[in-house]
Amino acid sequence: MARRKRRRFTPQFKADAVRLVMTGGKSIAEVTAQYDLTETALREWVRRAAVDAGTGPAGALTTAERAELIELRKRLKRAEMERDILKKATAFFAKENA
Asked whether the predicted pLDDT for residue 2 surpasses 80, the reply is no
The reported pLDDT for the residue numbered 10 is 94
The reported pLDDT for the residue numbered 58 is 81
Report the CATH architecture of 9-60.
Answer: Orthogonal Bundle (1.10)
Identity at 32, one-letter amino acid code: T
pLDDT digits (tens, 9 = 90+) for 9-67: 999 999 999 999 999 889 999 999 999 999 999 999 999 999 988 887 888 889 899 99
Domains of the chain, residue spans = 9-60, 63-98
Question: Are the C-beta atoms of 57 and 51 separated by less than 8 Å?
Answer: yes
